[in-house]
Amino acid sequence: MAIEQEYKDFKSLLEYFVAQLEYVANNKDISCRGYDKYIKPLVDSGNFTKTGNGYKEHQIQNQIRNWEKYSVGRIAINCKPNFGNNYRTSTCYLNWIGTGLNVNAQWNGNHISDLILKFYQNDAMPSPMIKPVSLNDLGLYDDNPPNNKLKAFLDSFSKMKIDHDENVWLYSDYDPTFSVEEWYKILTDKEITSIDALTVLKCIKEIGGQATCSQLAEKFGNTWQYYNSNSFAMGKKIVEKMNCQVPQREDGTIPYWAILYEGKGASKEEKGTFIWRLRKNLSLALDKIGLNDMENPMITKLKELLLSSKQIILTGAPGTGKTYLAKQIAYALTGDNAENSPHVEFCQFHPSFDYTDFVEGLRPVDKGNGSIGFERKDGIFKAFCKKALKNYQDSQKLKQVIEAERTAQDKIDVYLNNAIEKQICLKTTTGNEFYIREFDDRRIYIEIPGNEIKKDVIVPYTELQKIISENLILTKAGDIKNIFQREHNRQHDSYTYIICNEIRKQKNVTLTVPQSQVKRENFVLIVDEINRGDISKIFGELFYAVDPGYRGKAGKVTTQYDNLIDETDLYYGGFFIPENVYIIGTMNDIDRSVESMDFAIRRRFTWKEIEAKDIAESMFDKVMPEHKEKALDVMNRLNNAIEKTESLSKAFHIGPAYFIKLKEYDGKLQPLWDLHIQPLLQEYLRGSMDSVATLAQLKAEFFTVPPAVNEE
């Protein structure tokens, strides 16, 4: 337990924290709680800073110096708005320095209603740690000594810090009560354990039985989210199917990962922030099972085909699961999953889809004062390629380069935030006064009040970062032209020169988190119904770049709006498809639009036909195992009859996507026939000589169900 003075300090700290956030979130509203006591003295003395990271010793930490020290450690204040100047997010918090143990605010409109303790980390999130506590219950701003609720709040926060420092294994006292044999059954149950979940467990086993998600990602590939999300999903499935007792946090939520592991915070020397350790019986059961027991050969084969050819098109009859299969291939290649897929992009072509949707084009924007203008905007494909290109470029950099860039970024951000907050007036070498108004990861926006011709200039952030990170020497603004091998000076060079010199004057900013080399990741674009769009109109000049033999800069092309791209853009100077981008298209064989596909695009893809039977079993296993046998029997018999019909063929098979609707109808065939199968067959038979008789024959085959699966 804390001493009485620490409770008093903590109460003042919480009151200040609330006052700071409400003041900046409401556009410096002086009527906010605590303004007169905490904020006004700082504003009047010119020492108030609204943004910064206290754990980096930014100036904002000075505002809580009187209340930062406690017997178990120091607390930092961190206040960084998200886009749109939004301070009502988890990026504004108090925390024990050196941990992910935070105090976060919960908002109700323009005011904070509650405070909550959370454990934030990349690898796992056993948070929140306790239920939210209202400001009234904490007794904030009541001018009384700290009450019991506030003392309990600090005691819980301190206990979290002590446990973190002592490396206590969380949920080590919880036992899911599964024997080795029971764990083996769970691991071989496809309804519970996916191939991805088993892969995660095997990776932890191989690395020694315990690891952080970041360590797993570094050694075995995929992202840390892959290991986190698959563990969470498997734990949840075990709880739902096995009906086992589970631990609960104080707010009633369940840490599903605890079914599989014990956990504790990682030390500063370890990569990642939270360690998982396999439960003993689970670890022993893993020795009895191999990944090959659960491999899906078809997905593995198609993934290998995609890796070798860069782009494939899945063709086949309607409903054969091409879109489903495309997503599974993409997840297998990237390590993503349905709940978290940052490396997979999905789009669907249609007759009105064009170049501006896919590559780039002019889009209307509100210029203010009722006027509308147009700006060049990236389309789906180009924006996706940018994300992949950034990863590809970063993966080529050495660890030392990444750390230098990150340190430079921290230096630049600290200075720019301070310059914006204090409205620092800077001068060029010719005496022109200017101010820094705002910045993002690409641009720094400069305002020049005294320039009647051009009152604003954009300084490329990346140019400044390169000069700082590589410690390049500047004696004059003209040196910048030589660094970037330009023929002429540019207007922003003189502003870059001054800002660079000012940044170099500030005290050293050290990198608080060691950086590791970035792993090259795969990115997959899925184009559903690729044949339904006007391919020539959509791809334009990209026919050249999309060729698998011209990935990377070898396939660079000048796009239609290239003259509107500014020099801060990754694709300034031409567009190309990065080497880590893969494309999967899907299309129905019987669509009339198939024949209109441009041959130039046809020969750039590898084509793979998907039959109805190829993924039917795995799809039925996942979606409706209780109706699997009936669905397989009816589908196979109906498709055999379709193939023997004179006016039809194998291309008119009906795939499993239609039959999974049996789940909606409790396994009853009649609504499936009436609402889905019959209308499709009528369309197939339109214009044929004996359509009525043929449909009757197919209906008879559909309803001729063996007794073992008959719904009656």
| pLDDT given for residue 479 in this prediction | 92
| pLDDT given for residue 229 in this prediction | 86
Higher pLDDT, 587 or 118: 587
Average pLDDT over residues 630-638: 92
Q: Which of 448, 456, 418, 445 is nearest to 431 (CA)?
A: 448
List pLDDT tens digits, range 304-346: 899 999 999 999 888 888 998 999 899 888 888 777 889 999 9
| pLDDT given for residue 1 in this prediction | 54
Confidence of residue 85 (pLDDT cuts 50, 70, 90): low
Tell me the one-letter amino acid at 257. Answer: W
Give yes or no for residue 649 having a pLDDT over 60. yes
| pLDDT given for residue 399 in this prediction | 84
Q: Please write down the HEC assignment for all residues of 376-442.
A: EEECHHHHHHHHHHHHHHHHCCCHHHHHHHHHHHHHHHHHHHHHHHHCCCEECCCCCEEEEEEECCC
Confidence of residue 707 (pLDDT cuts 50, 70, 90): very low
Confidence of residue 367 (pLDDT cuts 50, 70, 90): low
List pLDDT tens digits, range 183-207: 988 988 878 988 888 889 988 987 8
The pairing of beta strand 581-588 with beta strand 523-528: parallel
| pLDDT given for residue 311 in this prediction | 93
List pLDDT tens digits, range 118-160: 876 443 444 444 678 999 999 999 999 999 999 999 998 888 8
The 8-class DSSP code of residue 375 comes to E
Where does 487-640 show beta strands of DSSP type E?
A: 523-528, 581-588, 606-609
List pLDDT tens digits, range 49-69: 988 989 888 889 999 999 999
Report yes or no: 60 and 39 within 8 Å, Cβ to Cβ.
no
Lowest-confidence region among 72-81, 268-277, 608-617: 268-277
CA distance 579 to 667: 46
Give yes or no for residue 513 having a pLDDT over 60. no
Give yes or no for residue 692 having a pLDDT over 80. yes
Confidence of residue 596 (pLDDT cuts 50, 70, 90): low
Give yes or no for residue 625 having a pLDDT over 80. no
Following DSSP, what letter does each residue of 608-628 receive, concatenated? EE--TTTTHHHHHHHH-GGGH
Confidence of residue 593 (pLDDT cuts 50, 70, 90): low
What residues have CB less than 8 Å from 94, skipping those under 6 apart?
Answer: 13, 14, 17, 75, 76, 77, 78, 102, 103
Q: What are phi and psi of 406, to 5 degrees?
A: -65, -40
| pLDDT given for residue 163 in this prediction | 76
Give yes or no for residue 296 having a pLDDT over 80. no
CA distance 110 to 115: 15
Q: Which of 544, 541, 468, 532 is nearest to 500 (CA)?
A: 468
CA distances for 45 relative to 59, 68, 216, 485, angstroms: 14, 21, 50, 46
Give yes or no for residue 501 having a pLDDT over 90. yes
**Quick one: tokens of 79?**
């206040």
Confidence of residue 509 (pLDDT cuts 50, 70, 90): low
Category of 523 on φ-ψ map: left (φ > 0), alpha (ψ -120 to 50) or beta: beta
| pLDDT given for residue 57 in this prediction | 86
Confidence of residue 217 (pLDDT cuts 50, 70, 90): confident
Confidence of residue 635 (pLDDT cuts 50, 70, 90): very high
Give yes or no for residue 9 having a pLDDT over 70. yes
Q: Which of 624, 622, 629, 702 is nearest to 666 (CA)?
A: 624
Give yes or no for residue 234 having a pLDDT over 80. yes
CA distance 569 to 181: 57
Higher pLDDT, 222 or 47: 47
Report the share of the chain in percent with pLDDT over 90.
44
| pLDDT given for residue 522 in this prediction | 95
Higher pLDDT, 416 or 126: 416
CA distance 377 to 361: 6
Average pLDDT over residues 239-261: 84
Mean pLDDT of the chain: 86
Report yes or no: 351 and 530 within 8 Å, Cβ to Cβ.
no
Confidence of residue 710 (pLDDT cuts 50, 70, 90): very low
Report yes or no: 515 and 406 within 8 Å, Cβ to Cβ.
yes
| pLDDT given for residue 32 in this prediction | 92
Following DSSP, what letter does each residue of 18-71 receive, concatenated? HHHHHHHHTTS-TTSTTIIIIIHHHHHHT-----EEGGGT-GGGGGGGGG-EET
For 459, the enclosing helix (H) or strand (E) is: strand 456-460
Q: What is the pTM of this model?
A: 0.56
CA distance 415 to 367: 30
| pLDDT given for residue 184 in this prediction | 87
Confidence of residue 295 (pLDDT cuts 50, 70, 90): very low
| pLDDT given for residue 290 in this prediction | 55
| pLDDT given for residue 508 in this prediction | 66
Average pLDDT over residues 606-625: 83
Lowest-confidence region among 81-95, 137-151, 189-203, 373-387: 81-95
In this structure, what is the dihedral angle of CA atoms 14, 415, 511, 159, given to the nearest 10 degrees?
0
41 preceded by cis ω (within 30°)?
no
